[in-house]
Structure 1
Amino acid sequence: MLNLLRRLICFPFKLTGFLLFGEMEIQTLKQYNVLLLGTCFCLVFTGFNTMGGIQTLIFNSATTNGSGGYVEGFHGNGYWSLAIIYMVFTAANIDISHCLYFSPRVTMIVGAVAYGLFIAQLLILNDILLYVSSALLGVGAAIIWTAQGNFLSLNSDDSTMARNSGIFWAMSISSSFIGNIFVFFMFSRSGTEYIDEATRNTVGIVLLCVTVAGTCLMFFLRPTPWAESTTSAKGPLEALKDSAKLFVTKDMLLLSVTFYYTGVQQNIWSSVYGTSIGYTNAFGKEAKDLTAMSGIFVALGEVLGGALFGIFGSLTVKRGRDPIVLLGFILSMVAYFLAFLNLPNSSPLGATDDKAFIESNKYLAIFTSFLLGFSDACFNTQVFSILGGTFKENSSSAFAIFKFMQSFACAIAFWYSPVLKLYWQLLIAVVLDVLGTLAFCFVEWRRNKDSSKLQDTSCGLEQEEHQSEN
């Protein structure tokens, strides 16, 4: 019965793809899928990534009487909304069987719908609607990201995984760049420290339309017939058992430390840092505009990093992934130190007149944003690469574990973000940065060593066979 249901659901997607595009060469089809996948995620996440950086400020206006954006009876908290998203995200990643049972294309479309519903609640601010849509988004995020990892892996091989990971990351994360440019001009036009109702509704409508466009575009992703026989062979229970077995392996346990750090880092760049800039009164009336500008430069760093690692993806095949992760480690440590110097300790908690260690400098704040984005791209592109390459046979399980740990870290971080001062949050990030980098490099070095031994053994066997023939 379940097999029949899966075939009925997937049939319209297969038929649409065949009628529109006919037959393609496999390599051309794979390239098409990767580029379209990046475009879809760029559009879908233009809404969510932009919301993540500004919703705390929007909700602050909505709960402040006389702000122009005040909503009577609304007491929503942006940090807690994000915490709910990532808590449900974490729980939903425990069971990734749905991503294996239906095709990844169908699963991604269902997940994208949840993102659209979350953006739509911005137009009708209500406490219950906010937190319910946050919970639904947590489920949607779990299935869309696990399916994305599986789909990217199916359209890549060992020689193209690093390149495709970089291309996808650059395209998808450019969503923040697009969204924050739009928000910057919208907020600048309002001319006040608060976000009025008209501005809030305009932002919500535009972000919702873009998210819906990305969801519709997913219908044009092509199926992967060369791999469908393997992805549909396992039942839900077997898939869950495979995930558990993979999680307790030595390499995956070590990589889980890296995964956890990427979640804490995401909390810093996507919400805490921009909010801290917006609440620093030393920046004056420019603080609100700087929040949007910070998001633009974070995205610029993300896009530049992803593009570079995509263009020069062949270098990671030759020299390994660890140099890029080490670069990300250095840049992130510099970024955390600059944030420590430039922003007041109490800045994540609300508007503050407190002084930083140095006189708060808006140019230094924006430069730090760029470093945060570029360093995040270093880590995430290489995590995508190692999961899609080294764990290709269990890509759905591997990506589900990655998103489980990352979302778990985000959930915890978003819970303590409204109550923990900036310096403590930066200290947590620094400690995990060190541990995550060491864990990733250890796995990469051990994998390279094992691969070299295997090649030497193969060469030795070939030489022995050649000598015996002579």
Structure 2
Amino acid sequence: MGTPEVTVPVKPFYFNFGLEEDRDQAFEDAMNDSFSATLGSVTPTSVTSSRSNSEKNSCCNRKMLNIVLLGLGFCCTFGPMQICMLAQTVILNSVRDEYFTGTSTFGYLSLGITFTAMTISFFLAPALSVLAGPKNAMLIGAACLTLSISSFVRPLEITLYIGSVAQGIGCGIIWTVYGHFLTENSTLKTMGRNTGIFWVLFEIGPVSLNIFYVFITQGATTITEEMRHLLFMVLLPVSAIGICTFACLDTCLPKSSEEAEPKKLTIYKTTKSNRLLLAKEALRDEVRMAFTKEMFMLIPIFVYMGVELTFYINVFGTSLGYSRQFGDLRESLVGLHGLFVAVGQMAGGLVYGLLGGCQRKYGRDTGILLALLLHMVGFYLAYLVIPERAAFDMTSDHSLVPPSPYLALTCSFLFGFGDAGWNNPLFAVFGILYPQNPVAAFAIFQAYQSFGNVIAFAYSGAIRIPYQLLIVTVLGIFGAFGFFFVDWKIVSDEKKLKQSLAKSLVLVVDKPIRSDNSPPQSTIL
């Protein structure tokens, strides 16, 4: 009597794309694991079992909480700082007493010092992030911003210079480590959404504080000492709240070994003896990254974002405050300009966040193209509504069109909306290109942007408005084309990666195992 045939059913494992939601998620997980290591060159790996649903939900909730805390922290720290940057030329010009005598262009000098310090800070911030840790670096930066705001309560030339340097250092540190937290708490699928959530929360501070600025300056032709004290009595506590918010960030979110390789800059995994070595390595990695082809092609857009930031965050608002053609409304227009910029940034962040899936489908270049068109329209309207010499001092000159506050504020909204349009696709590209070293990538971006700020503030007090607009327009066009080149390469590499994964994954067919030890049949996709 022969031995009976024994069959053991083998559960088939299907891995296909676009059929069911769980298969899409499995492919998304595989993309997140492999695409972060290299673009276009992938070694096939086996598909491991996923974590339990409860663990996934807990991790997702912690990551979303971090994004919310990050946005609220920026809301409280950068909201007051943006008010200072926006109005400090006008505010300091109104201070004339025995301690300090302001001039019409002292604000440009102060901000030039700020962005010079910021440029240096961005290059050193990755090393500081390694030495102190991302969270501690964020707290140090927030403390520097609070210190800079306090220098405006009783303006003195020496304290204003110190405050300008502290402001630059604080901005450099925070914006660099911001990239770390955003990337650590996002995936390829959630990067666009999280960036949009962050920008909406971030802009709550500038919106509310600009409303307060408009309220206290309504009908005023100059900023009095009482107005200045009232303004900074509010800005200082709000900035201090931002420090407390950053202290609540959760940095203990390391990925498992199955999900990703260890990150070089994950400081909470290292010992004190290794930190100095890692800091040196971070600087070397940053220098190497700065000379890559992708970074080189993105330099024009980095510089453009610094030059246009200088124009809309300070020069345009100052020009409104210096234009007598707007009458008693001119001081309030400075605050209204900041308000509409913030509303535009919030609307832009929300729209670009909601359309993140569309950008993945049709390309991030469409988002950059829209931002470029919005800024071009804003620059043209600014050319029409602002007198040529309004950036230098109080002027009674008239613009090319009758003075219209509504037209001026339309420019402000377009500047803010377009700025979000530049930031969101660019930050999404950073998350794709440099997920293993986001701190260095954001540091290089911010350093070049600050360099653009320094250049723009150097000529803002000497070049008339039409020529400033011509410079920023040309830079915007070159910057957009540089981004298009990089984004098209990413899209091409994504397609190659998907094809490589499709060819390497094995579909095991439900085939019984027989007593003759014959292997199960399989089909290669």
Same fold (TM over 0.5): yes
Task: Select the residue among 110, 122, 136 that pairs with 1:81.
Answer: 110
Query: Is 1:44 equivalent to 2:87 in the alignment?
Result: no
Q: Within the alignment, does 1:110 sit opposite 2:140 as a pair?
A: yes
Confirm or deny that 1:185 pairs with 2:228. no
1:14: which partner in 2?
none
Give the structure 2 partner of residue 421 of structure 1: 464
Deviation (angstroms), 1:101: 2.9
1:328 matched residue in structure 2 = 371
Distance 1:102 1:316 in 2: 36
Q: CA separation in 1, counterparts of 2:201 and 2:109? A: 28
1:72 and 1:394 mapped to 2: Cα distance?
47
The letter of the residue matching 2:345 is E
2:498 maps to which residue? Answer: 455
Gaps of 5+ in 1: 1-22, 64-69
Per the alignment, residue 143 of structure 1 pairs with 173
Shift of residue 460, structure 1, vs aligned partner: 3.9
Aligned to 1:153: 183
The answer to whether 1:239 aligns with 2:282 is yes
Shift of residue 72, structure 1, vs aligned partner: 3.9
Asked whether the 8 Å contact 1:155–1:224 carries over to 2, the reply is no
Matched, 1:28 2:61: yes
Does residue 203 (structure 1) correspond to residue 231 (structure 2)? The answer is yes
Counterpart in the other structure of 1:438: 481
1:185-218 deviation digits (Å, cap 9, x = unpaired)? 0101xx4311110110110110011000111121
Query: 1:86·1:410 contact (CA, 8 Å) conserved in 2?
Result: yes
Contact 2:100 2:155 in 1 (8 A): no
C-alpha distance in 2 between matches for 1:108 and 1:373: 25
Judged with a 3 Å threshold, the aligned counterparts in structure 2 of structure 1 residues 224 and 320 are, in CA distance, closer, same or farther, namely farther
Q: Does 1:132 align with 2:165?
A: no
Aligned with residue 282 of structure 1, among 325, 330, 345: 325
Written as runs of structure 1 = structure 2, the 5 A alignment for 1:48-67 is 48-63=81-96
Once the 2 structures are TM-superposed, how far is the Cα of residue 85 of structure 1 from its aligned partner?
A: 0.7
Q: Which amino acid aligns with 1:129?
A: T
Amino-acid identity (%): 35
- Deviation string, structure 1 residues 358-379 (Cα, Å, up to 9, x no partner): 2221111111111111001100
- Partner SS, residue 158 of structure 1: coil
Kept in 2: contact 1:154–1:227 (CA 8 A): no
Worse-matched range after superposition: 300-309 or 355-364: 355-364
Match of 1:4 in 2: none
From 237, 250, 254, the counterpart of 1:226 = 254
Indicate whether 1:298 and 2:336 are aligned. Answer: no
Cα pair 2:127 2:283 within 8 Å, conserved:
yes
Letter in 1 for 2:353: G
Query: 1:294-334: per-residue Cα shift (whole Å, max 9, x none)?
Result: 11111110000011222332222322211111100000000
* Aligned-partner residue type, residue 101 of structure 2: F
**Residue type of the alignment partner of 1:80:** L
Higher normalized helix content (fraction of residues): 1
**1:382 partnered with 2:425:** yes
TM-score (norm 2): 0.80
The equivalent residue for 2:122 is 93
Is the 1:302–1:374 Cα contact (8 Å) retained in structure 2? yes
The Cα shift of 1:235 comes to 0.6
In the other structure, the counterpart of 1:406 is 449
1:134 is aligned with what amino acid? S
1:371 to 393, 414, 417: 414
1-structure distance, mates of 2:432, 2:98: 49
Q: Distance in 2 between matches of 1:73 and 1:261?
A: 34
Supply the AA of the counterpart residue of 2:419.
D
TM-superposed deviation, 1:130: 0.2
* Equivalent-residue separation in structure 1 for 2:455 and 2:391 (angstroms): 16
Q: Show CA shifts across 1:203-241 (max 9, x none).
A: 011001100011112111112331596313571111111
- The separation in 2 between residues aligned to 1:45 and 1:450, in whole angstroms, is 37
- Partners of 2:506 and 2:523 within 8 A in 1: no
Number of the residue aligned with 1:338: 381
Per the alignment, residue 212 of structure 1 pairs with 240
**Which amino acid is 1:154 matched to?**
E
Q: Secondary structure at the match of 1:108?
A: helix
Q: In structure 2, how many angstroms separate the alpha carbons of the residues matched to 1:355 and 1:106?
A: 50
Checking the alignment, whether the CA contact within 8 Å between 1:48 and 1:115 is kept in structure 2 is yes
2:200 aligns to what? 170
Using the TM superposition, give the Cα deviation of residue 463 of structure 1 relative to its aligned residue in structure 2, in angstroms: 8.5
The alignment partner of 2:395 has SS state of: coil
Distance in 2 (CA, whole Å) between partners of 1:389 and 1:178 is: 33
- Name the structure 1 match of 2:515: none
Quick one: which of 98, 116, 120 aligns to 2:150?
120
Structure 2 segments unaligned to the other structure (5+ residues): 1-55, 257-261, 271-276, 510-520
C-alpha distance in structure 2 between counterparts of 1:308 and 1:351, whole Å: 38
- Say if 1:74 and 1:125, in contact at 8 Å, map to a contact too: no
CA 1:464 to 1:34, structure 2 compared with 1: closer, same or farther past 3 Å? Answer: closer
Separation of aligned partners in 2, 1:227 and 1:440: 30
Give how far 1:275 is off: 0.8
The TM-score with structure 1 as length reference comes to 0.89
Deviations 1:128-158 (A, max 9, x none): 1001111122122111111111011101111
Coordinate RMSD, CA, aligned: 2.1
Q: Does 1:308 align with 2:351?
A: yes
